[in-house]
Chain A
């Protein structure tokens, strides 16, 4: 009964999405259309129904209802509760339901509270939101029904794979979905604004928190994924430019650009069609990423949904949403003036420059990711990897970092480079002395060198906007910018330092033997056999001592799982403020020694600290913007009430207040 309730709710929600779409479209033709009044309530109800459906799925997983195919395939009655819950979205159908649920709730929320835009624009926005949701409902109901029943209930579930019982794996995918949903809301706003030709600063302000939210989630998702790859894959790599990673990076790049162009639109009423374009691009990148990952056409080995039907369905949705939006853009954008041109030396000049650089970088990543696919269509197989992505994206990223260092120091509208001569001189001096210092002490590659040299001035410059201001009076949103930019500098420093100064030691070590790597003495004390619930492992007892410091024991493992049979390396790290010692135990050699892999990675942790700081900056900006909006709303409401009271005192009809 419970799964059927969920399914019914899903059908109802789909019907409401259709109503929302029809009402929103009719409202464009005729203001008085009866259906127009139903748009907001339909959006709210649709969100609640989707939530209900998702709760029903969760319930089926919690009670392990084995007559539901999805539960039988992905869960097990003996699983811990938290992994039963996570199992609900750890598969294709459930994750799509989670996605559409969050998306509908977001749509319901804007229908409930968003009153700043003209009503026609809001209706167009909600129509777009309904359109997007309808596609996902069709996908779920027609080809990926999460509530499908088995003709005969299974005796036990198939999903007791402890490899998947990882708290990181449970919460990593939803993080990305939340990011994608935020971008879908931005997309709907962009379409609504374009349809009604209301590309205004107000539109940018309304859209901005959603973009910020998406951006925070995407940042966290990418950071967590990178750290996971680092400790789990056993070779100390933190970014591989592999298609699945690129699929998560591309929406992030687009969201970053959108965030900044929306700021220009909000502050200066310019970059109108550019912002609309980015709104469409950001959402399309999340759809393209989903398509690439789930259709299996790129990462054939990581076959998740090697189901051509699913792939075609996502592709059809992509064509509908993005093709439709781009067609609308081509037809409409010509009638929207782009707004003012900018002075080169100005805040918005810098923002525009970096927007273009970010978009160019996005173009490079997209090209490099899709190119093997294109070459394959012509019968050739090529690989595009770090040796391509690093230097080619640097062409755009390096100028961007330089402008990013200076941009926040500039004033809006028009500025003079002379005014910032002093900070500029200091930053250049820091960069040059750093370059000389590093150049004299070590010989490192050009890209790590650039990264190091740019990171320190950027870190300093990030805080310069605070100079001369009372810190308690600085708006939260400005703090957000400061922290996020500082986070970029921190991450950049970590990346450059790791690439430039990592020390590696691969050795076959006898028990009791000692190896040295970058000031550490590492002794292999012994090898023990240990066992887990479905694995056995060889565990190395390693004593690591840095200089004359306190020795620390770490225990990397080489694990053998038997269901499914699989080998994994469990690396072990020792974290210091200035880096990490990374140890992996390998096989035994024929003469009885053990393969030991050791790395000293200076400041590698800064990469992820930086990611967290960037996300924190985003959170501060959201809190700052939203609380500002709320304050303004309260103020206008108070003003309106006061006006009404005054009008009431004079005994005039109250309608006069509305037109004032």
Chain B
């Protein structure tokens, strides 16, 4: 749980020193004016991994680099770029690690094959257990 995380973080507290003093990027903490564009940006940001803080998306991190990434996402969306194109651009640079939404690839196919398998097994188990004559 997150409570445990905090415990660990506090135990292994990372020094604050490696922090810059620059103001955050313009669109790190500012929404796009167009609500539809902002919604698209928000949806994308929630699925991109913050590289400096593991297990958090860039949409919920205060790390400066996450702010810069939000700025990139928002300005690119505002410039009319498709969200998936932005994801692809980042994946080209950081690999699948940066995206929380795994795409089918030679590395990730089991993530999609296994649920299918589970579905089949579930159906088989249900057929074995259910559908006999009622009662005995």
A residues touching B (Cβ–Cβ < 8 Å)? 90, 161, 163-164, 168-169, 172-173, 176, 221-222, 224-226, 228-229, 232-237, 240, 242-245, 248, 271, 293, 299-304, 338, 340-344, 346, 349, 352-353, 356-357, 359-360, 363-364, 367-368, 371, 374-375, 378, 380-388, 392, 395-396, 413-414, 504-508, 560, 564-567, 569, 586-587, 589-590, 595, 597
Contact = CB atoms under 8 A, between A and B. Distances in A.
A386 B3 contact: no
B107 A352 contact: no
Interface residues of B, number: 63
Interface in B12-65: 12-17, 23-24, 29-31, 42, 46-47, 49, 53-57, 59-62
B8 A302 contact: yes
A357 B49 CA distance: 30
Contacts of B29: 506, 508, 586, 595, 597
B11 to A, nearest CB: 6
A356 B7 contact: no
B98 A383 contact: yes
A383 B49 contact: yes
B80 interface: no
Contact of A244 (B4, B135, B136): B4
B79 interface: no
Contacts of A413: 134-135
A234 B108 contact: no
A176 B2 CA distance: 13
11 contacts: A237-B60, A240-B2, A244-B55, A245-B1, A303-B8, A342-B134, A343-B130, A357-B122, A367-B115, A384-B102, A597-B29
B67 to A, nearest CB: 10
Contacts of A244: 1-2, 4-5, 55
Nearest to A597: B29
Contacts of B133: 341, 343
Given A341-B131, A352-B130, A385-B49, A565 B2 contact: no
A243 B8 CA distance: 14
Contact of A342 (B46, B95, B96, B130): B130
B55 A242 contact: yes
B3 A392 contact: no
A304 B8 contact: yes
A378 B107 contact: yes
A387 B1 contact: no
Contact of A564 (B13, B60, B119): B13
Contact of A243 (B31, B55, B97, B114): B55
Given A380-B107, A413-B135, A235 B53 contact: no
Contacts of A224: 1, 3
Contact of B111 (A338, A357, A367): A367
A304 B2 contact: no
B31 to A, nearest CB: 5
B85 interface: no
Contacts of A384: 100, 102, 111
B125 A356 contact: yes
Interface string B100-123: 111000011011001100110010
B57 A385 contact: yes
B115 A164 contact: no
Given A176-B1, A385-B100, 8 more contacts: A228-B6, A301-B55, A304-B12, A356-B122, A381-B95, A586-B29, A586-B62, A587-B23
A564 B97 contact: no
Nearest to A392: B115
A356 B126 contact: yes
B136 to A, nearest CB: 6
Contacts of A301: 8-9, 12, 53-55
Nearest to A353: B126
Interface string B69-85: 00000000000000000
B129 interface: yes
B59 to A, nearest CB: 7
A78 to B, nearest CB: 18
B119 A360 contact: yes
